[in-house]
Structure 1
Amino acid sequence: MRFIDLERYLASKQFRLLPLYILLALGLLSAGANYWYLRDHAHNMARYYAEGIVRLINDARLWNAEHGGVYVPVSESTPPNPYLQIPHRDLVTLDGLELTMINPSYMTREIAEITRRQAGLVMHLTSARPINPGNRADEWEQQALVNLEQGRGSKLELVAVPEGMVFRYMSPLYIQPACLPCHQAYGYEEGDLRGGVSLVFPAAPHLAMVSSQINWMLFGHAIALVLIGSVTLSLLNRLQRQWQARQRLIDEQESTIAQRTQTLSSQMERYYTIINTAAEGYWEIDDQQRTAMVNEALCAMLEYDHEELMSRSPLDFVAGKNREILREQLQEREISRIRAFNITLKTKSGRDLHTRFHATSIFNEKHHFTGSFAFITDITELLEIRESAAAYALKLERSNKELEDFARVVSHDLQEPLRTMVSLGDRLLAKHAAGLDEKGRDYLSRMQDSASRMRQLIEDLRSYSREAHRKNQVMALVDLNEVLREVIADLEQRIGEQKARIEIDRLPTINADRSQLHRLFLNLVGNALKFQAEGNRPWVRVKLTKIDRKHVEIQVSDNGIGFEEKYLDRIFRPFQRLHGRGQYQGTGMGLAICKKIVENHHGEISARSTPGEGTNFSLTLPL
């Protein structure tokens, strides 16, 4: 449905009537379902009643059969059974009393006559092959007997008769061992279906038991429909008012977004101005190695116009070994985010231009590689003055300082709009969340998450830059035991939440920068807690494995998810992640910072790992 149609619908009467129609339909369906449930309950009660009667009849028949029949005096109501052809059917006592045998069938017919007179219960023995013509089945009983022969079990049915509604029930009769003396002569064997016991009894008493429940159920549904309908109508009216208020809020937001877009465009123009006025050359290429953007400084270096450089590959401006070096660096763009290398370019006049590239790869929000850019420093003069190493070092240091200043300025300028976005998002979420629909809140949440990740990425990049270019280290004797205690205190909450087990050996005192070592062990222990399988209790061991007069070797082991060792060359590079952000948070800078800290101390760091079994980081540091 288009937005304008939705707005028209929310303003119309159908907005309130359609939910009421749906509610009425649901109420009718519920009442119908409950009605049929109660009717089925009445049928079940009738079945239990019929099954109880049949059970008593069968027990009495079994007792009679097991005793070989019983003798009763011959009377008008109990004459000899002409269909019972057995010896000793009739007897005369010594005092002249005539007796006749009552078999199970005869006894059942006598009981049926009593129940018909006293309880209105009609009971009839019937069979597909009756011996007694009086046991011949009627049309309903014939169908019930067919069902029994097909193995469908007993049958209960509500039937209309001239006297009213009655239940008809048919239960099977099977040949039992006690029945064989009489029925074996007719070809029956144990377990054969002999026929059935048919019951007919009034339905009114059973239906009356649930009629009051049906009335109360219908009354309850009617009351519920009225109450729920009233509440629903009230809520719909309130929702309509909220929608109108939300529309006003959206209009205000669109105005604010337009203003922020204009501000962002102005800031982008500012960044372009900074790039174009920078002393270093700026060269941006796409994923196909085609030039997408250059600044004036690079044009001046290569002696080409801006149009002459666009869409050309950097490989067009190198020759010999430099071409192979540059081709290798271009192939590394998708693997390593940040690279620095020296290359000699050819200017338009054929002059050699010795440069230093500081290259950065660009990835989109789906982590797909889209291109790269590089700040290029002309180091021709420095290479030509080989005899003046001090001058060369000074100029290179100045160039790096300018790049650091530029990165710091860009980082500051990038974080300012991010802070504004997060602040506005927090205010919008706190004050207007109720006015946003689910999609609006989702967009707002995703915007805040993206801004937070960008801010963390900038902060990690600055941390890495600081460690990579740190010169004034505060070297002093550092007790590693105190450093580890501080690290464990910093991670105390996470350790408690994960119920982690931490084991730390007694460690020595070394000459180092205390703050850097704190960051080193904080990253390693923090990674050990983070990269864990769901439900696994973390275990971290900091072990002293070797110490001599010059060096100390320390291992940090865990029982985490581990990784395949073919990725060892990647894990210490900046922005390298082996897992998606949806699995584990982070920017991929932690181990790169650890490596820089160890290198600042003239040490070494390596790792061994097995997927699913954990990781072991080995540190070698000078004493």
Structure 2
Amino acid sequence: MENSLTPEKPEPVGSHNSSGAYSDFIENRAYWLLPVLLCLIITAISLKWYFFQIDTNFKALAIEDGRVIFQMVENARLWNARHGGVYVVITDETTPNPYLEVKDRDVVTTNGMKLTLVNPAYMTRQMSEVLMERNSIMFHITSLKPIRPQNSPDTWESAALRDFEGGITEKSEMFENSVFRYMAPLRVKDACLKCHQNQGYKVGDIRGGISVTVPVDVLYSTVKKQKIALSLLHIMVFLSISAMILLFMSKIRSQWLKLRHAKVEQDSVVELRTREIRETNEQLTIEINERRHTEEILSESETKYRSLIQSVQDGIISTDENGVIISFNRGAEAIFGYKEADLTGKHAAELIPSRLQDTYKRAVQMLQLLGDSYFAGKRLEFEGHRKDGTEFPCEVSIASWKIKEDRFYVAIVRDITERKHMENQISASLHEKEVLLREIHHRVKNNMQIITSLLNLQNRYLKDQKDIDIFTETKNRIKAMSLVHEKLYQSETLSKIDFNDYVRNLALGLFRSYGVSERKINLKVDVPSISFVIDTVISCGLVINELISNSIKYAFPDISINDSQPPEREIGISLHIPDDGTDSYKLLVWDNGVGIPQESELAEHKSLGLQLVHSIVENQLQGQVIVERKSGTKFILVFKENIYKQRL
């Protein structure tokens, strides 16, 4: 069937790639920059070549000027040498040459005119002064063995003279495009030996050179203008050619789009005529492949499913909608003691004890009525019935699936005998520990009450009021701790105490202990419903005991026994739960009495009670104490939430 499909005609190799590349080049305007970039490169190369030619000609012209001046000077020197020098009138500018040691250097004519002999070197210097004055051109005769010190070479000239001795015929160099220097060697001729033979020269030797320094700034300015003009010309040519390229590409793109649109329409017509046959063949091929693939998946799935089901330790039992067993894995065999062949085709009710058959039937009816959504996500605890007649607790999860109109159910059964045994042991152990802990709190409470009673008996024999106050404070501290154990003994949970109830009872107990009623001092308790562990409650209780005791004894010195006016005196306790993202609690204990002295510091106070407050807050609660003395006294205790973590 697959071979009946009509294969598409393959495109020639490379045609699609070349066509696609050409299409991208035409349609994507970003690619148009490539010919423009090529034009720019050619323009830049052309401009660079022209600049090179101009610079070459500029240098060649400067060299030619240097050569002409050098040859002019050399010819003049040769003429002078051939004539044995020239006699000129002695003036201030032309004085006798002290370095010319020849006979008849200075003569006097018959008419009395004084003359001096000018040799080639002297004449060269005179010519250099004239050219420097009129044309700013300077030339300098020099030698590595100068007779006249002023003829000594500079650094550049020295290098040139050494190059001449090595065979170089001339040397030139441009300096900052404003000064050009040219130098050529002077060779010894027959006429030169008259003056230089005593230096050891012979005909043909290089005895020095003449360097010519020519200003070329005017010429360079002309060259610069030529370069600017050439640059502008090249820019105009580049812009013109680029515009022509972009216009040409735009025209080609327009024609290309029209051709492609026509081709698309033509392809659409061809595709429309062949679509039905192609779609029919493709659909038939897909259906065949899907069926084969489905059969393979079903076969693999069934194999994996059976392998998975058989490897699970839990019991997996599949039934039809009537409860007839259709599969029974090895885990179920191990749990119930039956083989799969023993129960296949039989009703699942055989796995339920006879005394629970009615309950099982009602569960099946609910399942059929409400569907498996009624049991979805639930684990039901049931009693199973083994082949040997024994019963055991089990946990059952139920699910269902549907094939066409038939519904099937699967039950996952887990034997929880061991778990139930462990739960019973844990429950019994917890009950024993709870009874023991409750008895401990009861005995601690009773022992503290005995201590309180002993203190009360001892208190009767005390005469000194200071000793009586100390016994009273000690008794109140013991009551504060005893109240914790009393609340724990009465509480349903033995790990935490309701802090609101504890604080309220503690404060009222202190009022009774000091014989103060709420008609004289108004007690305000603003503590939210929160539970703390025993260590925290004991620490906070001792702190509250000390601070409330101090307020009752010292905050209101004007209180009287017969005071019947409504109380304006207040003692308050409040707890602020953190709501700003921190874990710090604030316990506030205040009164509106006379306050404590400004110079009193909590940590250094002589009172045992205030020292105890400081020690408990910092060492047990790991917090800090802040004292405010405005309109009475307010103690702010700040401590962290992690103090209240339950200990294991």
- Pick the TM interval, shorter chain: 0.3 to 0.5
TM-score (norm 1): 0.38
Instruction: Please identify the structure whose Cα radius of gyration is greater.
Output: 2
The two structures have a TM-score, normalised by structure 2, of 0.36
